Amino acid sequence: MSTPHSMPLWRHVSIFAVAFLLAAGVARAQFAHSSDVSENAVAVASESSSSAGLPDAVDASAEPAAGGQNGRSGVYQHRSNWDHVAFEAGGGFNAPTPDSSSYITWGGNFTVGAGYRYDPHLSMLVEYQFIDSKLPAAVIAPTGANGGHAHIWSFTLAPVVDLFPKSSNDLYFTGGGGFYRKVTSFTDPVLSEYCNFYYCEVGTTTQVVGHFSSNQGGWNIGMGFSHRLGGVYDDSRMKLFAEARYLDVLTPAVTTSPNGLSETSVAADTKIIPVTIGVRW
């Protein structure tokens, strides 16, 4: 008679497999019996509730009744975090105020902003704006240059208050303040050679021959009109807008000879009116 230690390996495996199959069969039979008992119990309970006049179980997949939360037909509409994201982009022109026309004239602007919409009435945007305006002859002539321009770029915080956010046509107020950098440049035409694949020629191009700059704070305030661009239920978030602001860049008064040019002077503060047309959502 062989001992367990001398039993071949294949016999150990065979005995283990047979024992596993027997255990699995018993477990399966017990599970099937339990399932039949559970189903019979549910059927008896259902018949009892029906005969007693009790209401059937509520179907969890049924739609809510009309007038439900945030729905046009009582259907709940989930609102994502993207509904709180606000964005704008636009461009336009700048006009000088009467008291600033002696040191800055007309030009153009570009604005882009993004931020957070707290509710339909209030948003907070971080705006970047670039302004390009010409200089008047009274500033350019003393330097001896032929032309000139002022470039202003800024980063500001700008709250936007919508008065009628659910209407197709809306009025809003905006404004804010932040960091402004102004670069005043003077230019002259210079001869330049242009070449392409076939030939070269000499022409003139505008080149900056002197400039000065300043960094400071500034503020703006204004109002605008927006029009909603459709949507299935006239609920699109994209709007066309047109706005005008009063802008005061708190630049210091300057008397300087930029890069060796003759001396010129510019008064304190740069006040202009940017008019911008674009899209918001």
For the chain, 281 residues long, give each residue's pLDDT as a single digit of tens. 444 444 444 454 455 454 545 544 544 544 444 445 444 444 444 454 444 444 444 444 444 444 444 444 433 344 567 789 999 999 999 999 999 999 999 999 999 999 999 999 999 999 999 999 999 999 999 999 999 999 999 999 999 999 999 899 999 999 999 999 999 999 999 988 878 888 888 888 899 999 999 999 999 999 999 999 876 566 688 999 999 999 999 999 999 999 999 999 999 999 999 999 999 98
Tell me whether residue 244 is in a domain. yes
Co-location of 169 and 261 in the same domain: yes
In this prediction, residue 80 carries a pLDDT of: 65
Co-location of 90 and 17 in the same domain: no
Tell me whether residue 227 is in a domain. yes
Judged by DSSP in three states, 61 sits in: coil
Both structure tokens of 195: 């070449």
Co-location of 35 and 174 in the same domain: no
Q: Which domain holds residue 157?
A: 83-280
3-state secondary structure string across 140-176 = HHHHCCCEEEEEEEEEEEEEEEECCCCCCEEEEEEEE
Co-location of 42 and 154 in the same domain: no
Co-location of 132 and 30 in the same domain: no
In whole angstroms, what is the distance from residue 121 CA to residue 166 CA?
Answer: 9
In this prediction, residue 45 carries a pLDDT of: 46
Co-location of 100 and 18 in the same domain: no
Residues 6 or more apart in contact with residue 127 via CB below 8 angstroms: 88, 111, 112, 113, 154, 155, 156, 157, 158, 176
Co-location of 26 and 95 in the same domain: no
DSSP assignments along 226-255, one per residue: EEE---TTS--S-EEEEEEEEEEE-PPPEE
In whole angstroms, what is the distance from residue 27 CA to residue 120 CA?
Answer: 61
Give how far the C-alpha of residue 143 lies from the chain's centroid of Cα atoms, to the nearest Å: 43
In this prediction, residue 214 carries a pLDDT of: 97
Residues 6 or more apart in contact with residue 262 via CB below 8 angstroms: 142, 143, 144
Tell me whether residue 58 is in a domain. no
- Supply the CATH number for residue 151's domain: 2.40.160.20
Tell me whether residue 194 is in a domain. yes
Co-location of 44 and 88 in the same domain: no
Tell me whether residue 64 is in a domain. no
Co-location of 44 and 99 in the same domain: no
Co-location of 236 and 127 in the same domain: yes
Tell me whether residue 216 is in a domain. yes
Tell me whether residue 18 is in a domain. yes
Category of 175 on φ-ψ map: left (φ > 0), alpha (ψ -120 to 50) or beta: left
Co-location of 123 and 216 in the same domain: yes
Per the structure, the count of domains in the chain is: 2
Nearest to 245 by CA among 173, 181, 151, 178: 173
Residues 6 or more apart in contact with residue 235 via CB below 8 angstroms: none
Co-location of 149 and 24 in the same domain: no
Tell me whether residue 255 is in a domain. yes
In whole angstroms, what is the distance from residue 213 CA to residue 151 CA?
Answer: 9
Judged by DSSP in three states, 27 sits in: helix
